[in-house]
Structure 1
Amino acid sequence: MHASTPFPTWHRPYLALFEQVLWSHAQAIAEAYPENQRERYRAAALTLRIPYWDWAIHPAMPDATTQPYIQVNTPFGVQDIQNPLYQYIFQANATGNGFPPSNPLANMPTTVRWWKATTQSSDQGAATAALEANAATILSLTYQLFTMTTNYTEFSCSSPGGRFVTANNVESIHNSIHNSIGGYGHMQFPEVSGFDPTFWLHHANVDRLFAMWQAVYPESYMIPTVNTYGSYYELPGTVDSGTSALAPFHSNQDGNRLWTSDEVRELKTFGYSYPEVPDWSMTPEQLKRNVQTYVNSLYNPNLNTTRVWAARDLQKKSVNLAQSFGTVTLDMAQGLRVNSLKEQYSITVVVDRFPTESSFVIDFFMGSAPEDISSWATAPNLVATYAQFGPANVTALHPDGYPSGQISGEISITHTLAAGVARGIIPNLMPKHVIPILHDGLNWRARSPWGTEVPLEELSGLSISVSSRTEVSSDARDGFPSYGPVVWQGSVVRGKPCGAVRPYGFNH
């Protein structure tokens, strides 16, 4: 259910079903421990839930997922075992697994992340490097998920040719994490990504953000929306609503009823919650204020270190745009409090849902892209990456032709510009200083999951636009900022490949 309104609600029973199976195994394992340990493990098994990984403030692969072997106290004593969070070992060959033969990862014996053909192994370090390269923009997008919107669902508008443009803020962030973890591996492709153990840590966090969003906006939920692309269960053009079935997840043991979005609205339906959402002990208003306080402390902490960063980096002043605006770490973005700055800048990407045979990404740079395509994902002058989360072979998925329609994603670039201010390159973030710099320095290139360049003109329906908006911060611990209207900065993209004064189909 990607690029559709039920994206977050569909994944909720998906997570719950996986957790149910995991929990059942845990109960059986607990009973196998020696009698003097059994009660301890019974108690632990009863409270077992899927852990979440907050990649917005921890942009590195969790240690638990990067070690091939771990030491565990098993019912038969302490043993070294293969780490089940490191990789999944497939139980059969491509045919036995039911993978499409066209999938480039079909014959891998295990899941891989950033596969390197030269070494015939995963590069776990590359996954962390890719996460860190996009950390600053993910931090801003996560904060803006709560502060810049009043509805988690998609917005839709018409574009040239009558196509539909859809966007979902939380899904756009989700796509970027998939791409950063997978690289040239399983997490890059929706048809096989669920086999990578990090899929569950990642999606538990997506569900957590959705639950937090629900607490902040309790009156907003599922607006009936056309599912432009359909799914294995729905035909294109189906209207998704709160009562639509979330197939194939059944809500009863007989298997004759399917969950709906309305039925999974409350976390207590499945017997879990998150630290920020103690919904059993607070009124809705208390819960809202509690979550907003957490959102500010996690994703816009008041570190008061802007001057330290400015003094430290002034010596980096350079006429080279790539050096002057590059290498903005999460630590620096937090120190500069990029989510509280008076001017906020973003890139909006609109493109056909299926413009190529496979998924792709667009890397945005300040200055020229490096010559070596394999270095784009972690280049020092990388501003951010837009990720299209699509199948390995679209034709195999849609043999009768691709459904028409477009999707949209947004990338925050305020962190890059704030670094320029801290380094003395520009005096402030006023458009009169920023727009000429972006016009001269902002560039973009596209690449495939296999590390080859994709010509931009081959990405049908692609438009790239830059916008700004003012922000008025709140002094309250549980207060959110307010924002001015979007101002499209057309001169930034004028004359550049697929540049558009404003995105196709946007009238605001």
Structure 2
Amino acid sequence: MLSLTLRCKEPIALLLLLILFLSDRLVAVQITGALGGLNSTTGARPLRYEIHDFANSGPAFDLFILALKDLQSIDQSEELSYFQISGTGSYPGFCTHAATPFPTWHRPYVALFEQLIWQHAQDIANDYPDDQRDEYSSAAVTLRVPYWDWAVYPALPDVVAQPQISINTPAGRQTIANPLYNYVFQSDAVGNGFPLSDPMANFSETVRWWSLNTKSSNQSAATAALLANAPAIQSLTYQMFTSLANYTAFSCTWPGGQWVTANNIESIHNSIHNSIGGYGHMQFPEVAGFDPVFWLHHANVDRLFAMWQALHPDTYIEPTVNAYGSYYENVGFVDSGTTALAPFHSDGGSTLFTSDDVRSTKVFGYSYPELPDWEMGSDDLANNVRIAVNSLYNPSSNNTFSSSTKQGRRRSSSIAENFGHVSLDLARQLRVNNLNRQWSITVLVDRFPMNTSFCIDFFMGDPPEEVSAWPAAPNLVGTYAQFNPANVTMLHPNGLPEGQVRGEISMTHTLAAGVSRGVLRDLSPRTVTPLLRHALNWRARTPAGDEVPLSALSGLSISVSTRPVVPRDTTDSFPVYGAVQWLGPVTEGKPCGVPRPHVQDEF
């Protein structure tokens, strides 16, 4: 793992670090990002592209795949191997979650990965035949890592889900093992330095939705879970841009500070981890970085962060309590813009990046298609982002149900049938993100109520009998995901910190489908409240597919709210949201149901 000057005051955790990583070379790695393609005169920088476009880019994609393959093949004891870089977020727990540096900590992390990919690509380009070398060398200079916009393209990308991939190599067209599909560990659990009590420790390669029956990954299960949550994820992504104007509320699941809704970028991010991973590496933060899709996912999280920054350039990280700590920070440490983002070095010595240092993507030499900041001022850039956000996540300004969106679906006696089977395409047709009312479920729960990750699935009508069917059930409204280690106590050997986290599930798509099918008159509280009181249900499960009693999740409270909305009327404007109305009768008397969220006093 990357080295740093230790500040940890937990002797047990320090001993664990020394035992696990004593053999590592203690070399500080300077993070510069990719160095090529920068225009020092105009400030122009190469772009990170969406993976579906990037996969058709020819030389750039070929180089990315080969560079990733080379990086993964380096002996994992080497400081700059894929294993060491991906393991930075692993034990002993540097990765920042449920704290305001969540977006900023991951920016230099992805930049380091990009820096190594770029370096490998330069050498690979020189190996191409004379008649191709110039084209590949040019592509190598401007190469940046791709991002996966799961809010627009929710299915697991083909280039991530297929074990083999065909590319043009220096030796010609070849089909090779796909380095985006998985990472194969070079040693066993002991050699990898993983605690044997971690259930992920004994896998020889990264897996997604591991089946205990077939003993194999199930890529289709990942796509099914992603598709089932897609309408809610797109709505939450759109509302993150259009209704969150304060960095603290935007940045993480910590429920302190001032917030109106529980929506935030980290909670959305957690849901994607859960949907991709199932019982697999992406489900657990201590090993998620080993799955190659992690980098595409976090490049997109960084993109969303950068776009949000363009909309709100005057709000940034403020002093806030880190309620849960990390390996580098004790519980109760006050994070600020000058807090070190351990273990990421801005030089080859002892200087660590801070959030203030990484406020702009300019620092690491990249940008995104929506953010050509060298071509325009801040006002025009914000306007450009608003147009892009509307185009991607709310592509219509019509706020009424037209005849073309009315479904000829036969009315059923089953609530699950009447309000289920809502795809992202249907949600778009119904213009869900531009309706005059939005409906949401708010979840508050202790950060560590059990010794692993867990999910809470919300349904219209009764959930399927088999827990294994819950993640992609036809009547699933959405899933709240708690992104915890597979064995929490390994990262907190001196006891688990106490406190809550928050998240939100959008359910407007489900209700709008009912209106379009003629089984619900409108979206008003008078109409919807009695329906939800009767029909909305929720269940909890572990990644392994075991049901969790809701009473076992300490601090859990579930509430339902609605907001009136003035829909957007131009391509460069956003909706205007009214006051939140909490609907206590919906959850009253149900397991862990409360009239409105109540944050514990320590926040």
When normalised by structure 1's length, the TM-score is 0.96
Counterpart amino acid of 2:314?
E
Out of 298, 312, 327, the residue aligned to residue 421 of structure 2 is 327
Deviations 1:364-409 (A, max 9, x none): 0001111111000011111100000000011111122100110000
> What secondary structure does 1:134 align onto?
helix
Aligned to 2:136: 41
Aligned to 1:228: 323
Q: CA deviation at 1:287?
A: 0.2
Q: What's 1:245 paired with? A: 340
2:414 equivalent to 1:358: no
The separation in 1 between residues aligned to 2:382 and 2:443, in whole angstroms, is 31
Query: Would you say the 8 A contact 2:255–2:500 is kept in 1?
Result: no
2:336 corresponds to 1:211:
no
Equivalent residue of 1:153, what SS? helix
Q: Deviations over 1:30-72 (max 9, x none)?
A: 1222233221111111111110110001010111111111122
Which residue of the partner structure matches residue 58 of structure 1? Answer: 153
- One-letter code of the match for 2:167? V
The one-letter amino acid paired with 2:127 is A
SS at 1:345 equivalent? strand
SS of 2:458 mapped into structure 1: strand
Report the secondary structure of 2:156's partner residue: coil
**2:104 maps to amino acid:** T
- Secondary structure at the aligned position of 1:110 is classed as coil
Residues 146-161 of structure 1: pairs in structure 2 closer than 5 A: 146-154=241-249
Residue by residue over 1:319-342, the C-alpha shift from the partner in whole angstroms, topping out at 9 and shown as x without a partner, is 211111111100011111111111
Whole-angstrom distance in 2 between the partners of 1:371 and 1:35: 62
| 1:506 to 1:138, Cα distance in 2 relative to 1, 3 A | farther
Counterpart position of 2:186:
91
In the TM superposition, residue 105 of structure 1 has moved relative to its aligned partner by 1.8
Aligned-partner residue type, residue 134 of structure 1: N
Q: 2:278 aligns with which of 178, 183, 186?
A: 183
Q: Report how far residue 306 of structure 1 moved.
A: 3.9
Q: What residue in structure 1 maps to residue 234 of structure 2?
A: 139
* Alpha-carbon distance between aligned partners in 1 of 2:270 and 2:436, rounded to the nearest angstrom: 28
Cα distance in 2 for residues equivalent to 1:421 and 1:226:
44
Quick one: distance in 1 between partners of 2:109 and 2:173?
33
Q: How does 1:58-457 map to 2 (within 5 A)?
A: 58-154=153-249, 169-253=264-348, 255-302=349-396, 306-308=401-403, 310-311=405-406, 313-457=407-551
Deviation at 1:295, TM superposition (A): 0.5
Give a deviation string over 1:398-436, Cα, whole Å, max 9, x none: 122100110000111111000110011111101100000
Contact 2:455 2:542 in 1 (8 A): yes
Q: Which amino acid aligns with 2:368?
A: Y
> Residues 366, 491 of structure 1: CA spacing in aligned structure 2 closer, same or farther, 3 A cutoff?
same
Cα deviation 1:244-280 (Å, max 9, x = unaligned): 1000000012x21000111111111111000001111
Gaps of 5+ in 2: 1-95
Q: Deviations over 1:446-483 (max 9, x none)?
A: 00010000000000000000001100112121101111
Q: Does the residue aligned with 1:262 lie in a helix, a strand or coil?
A: coil
Instruction: Please give the alpha-carbon distance, in whole angstroms, between the structure 1 residues aligned to 2:437 and 2:600.
Output: 21
The runs of 5 or more residues in structure 1 that have no matched partner are none
Return the offset for 1:360.
0.1
> Tell me, what secondary structure is at the counterpart of 1:53?
coil
Contact kept in structure 1, 2:261 and 2:504, CA below 8 Å? no
Identity %: 64
Q: Does 1:26 find its partner at 2:121?
A: yes
Q: Does structure 2 conserve the Cα–Cα contact (< 8 Å) formed by 1:446 and 1:454?
A: yes
- Give distance in 1, aligned partners of 2:343 and 2:510: 43
Give the secondary structure class of the aligned counterpart of 2:379.
Answer: helix
- Given that 1:157 and 1:165 are in contact with CA atoms closer than 8 Å, whether structure 2 keeps it comes out as no
* C-alpha spacing 1:327/1:29, structure 2 compared with 1 (3 Å): same
Letter in 2 for 1:438: L
Residues 162-204 of structure 1, C-alpha deviations (whole Å, 9 max, x = no match): xx99966000100000000001110000000001111011011
SS for the counterpart of 1:297 is helix
Q: Secondary structure at the match of 1:2?
A: coil
Cα deviation for residue 310 of structure 1 reads 4.2
Select the structure that is richer in strand: 1
Q: Against the structure 1 CA distance between its residues 309 and 496, is the aligned structure 2 distance closer, same or farther, given a 3 Å change threshold?
A: farther
1:126-161 Cα deviation digits (max 9, x unpaired) = 1111000000000100000111110232386679xx
2:530 is matched by which residue type in structure 1? P
Q: Partners of 2:410 and 2:458 in 1: how far apart?
A: 22
Q: How large is the RMSD of aligned CA atoms in angstroms? A: 1.9
User: What's the counterpart of residue 26 of structure 2?
Assistant: none
Measured after TM superposition, the shift of residue 100 of structure 1 is 1.9
Q: Distance in 2 between matches of 1:449 and 1:272?
A: 35
Letter of the 1:282 partner, please give it: M
CA contact (8 A) 1:309 1:336 kept: no
CA contact (8 A) 2:99 2:322 kept: yes
**Number of paired residues?**
501
Going from structure 1 to structure 2, the CA distance change for 1:165 and 1:471 (only over 3 Å counts) comes to closer
The 2-side partners of 1:165 and 1:353 are apart by: 20
Where 2:502 maps in the other structure, the secondary structure is strand
Kindly indicate whether residue 595 of structure 2 is the aligned counterpart of residue 504 of structure 1: no
**TM-score normalised to structure 2 length:** 0.81
